[in-house]
Structure 1
Amino acid sequence: MSVIEVNKDNFEEEVLKSDKIVLVDFFADWCGPCKMLSPIVEQVANENENIKVCKINTDTEPVLAFEYKIMSIPTLISFKDGVLYKKSIGLVSKEEILDLVK
């Protein structure tokens, strides 16, 4: 499954109302660690049909970034049944990303 770009208009539908665990990557285009994490997140999305992976650009979606208290990027948040489940800040390994969705 490919990574889904999410914004304030489709956040509720794609993330909060999803019947799968959702991994959300909060990022910015100018962020070096975000660029390093992005291919790993895409690999996780392509290899795991049982989860949904979304990306939110914190520069274009500051309200969502504020709502989920994103102070540093990259930040990964997993949602289960529409509720924040686990959170990780900074560049992490594929194994650590997979731990967020277990």
Structure 2
Amino acid sequence: MNVFVRIKAKAMKGQPLPDLPGKVGKSIAKATDGLVYFFSPSCAACRTLTPIVQKAAQKNKNVFAVDVTKNLELARALKVMATPSTLEVSGGRVVEVHVGMLPQSVLTRLSPST
């Protein structure tokens, strides 16, 4: 993955959540702690990861699976430049950013409820 994309994504770490557009954006803003996963249907890596995250999102209201082709403004507001990208949010701030496949530690947190 492009180093520039990773550097730009990591710059979001520690930043407050901006004003987020749309219904999904408002739900993310209300979440105390959450995980926001951005994917694209044409992304090969996303095809493996998306079903796992979507299943977790059905069971946990603070897990959001966002299709960038349908929510481009939300992706732009959070400076998402590549898929898959995942933001961990807490207290209205971005606490961690993952570009590419999720680390095993994050998948493990999602898996017990799936």
State the TM-score, normalized to the length of structure 2.
Answer: 0.64
Decide which structure has the larger Cα Rg and report it. Answer: 2
Segments of structure 2 that go 5 or more residues without pairing to the other structure are 1-19, 110-114
- Identical columns (%): 22
Match of 2:74 among 52, 64, 76: 64
For residues 11 and 73 of structure 1, what CA distance do their matches in structure 2 show?
Answer: 18
Contact kept in structure 1, 2:35 and 2:87, CA below 8 Å: yes
Q: Equivalent residues in 2 for 1:24-63 (5 A)?
A: 24-42=36-54, 44-45=56-57, 52-63=62-73
Contact kept in structure 2, 1:15 and 1:82, CA below 8 Å: no
1:88 paired to 2:98? yes
Q: Which has the higher helix share?
A: 2
Equivalent residue, structure 1, for 2:22: 9
Deviations 1:35-77 (A, max 9, x none): 1112332465578x5x711011111111111111111100000
Contact kept in structure 2, 1:44 and 1:98, CA below 8 Å: no
> Which residue identity does 1:17 align to in structure 2?
K
List structure 1 runs of 4+ shifted beyond 3 angstroms: 42-47, 96-99
Q: Which has the higher strand share?
A: 1
Contact kept in structure 1, 2:50 and 2:65, CA below 8 Å: no
Segments of structure 1 that go 5 or more residues without pairing to the other structure are 1-6
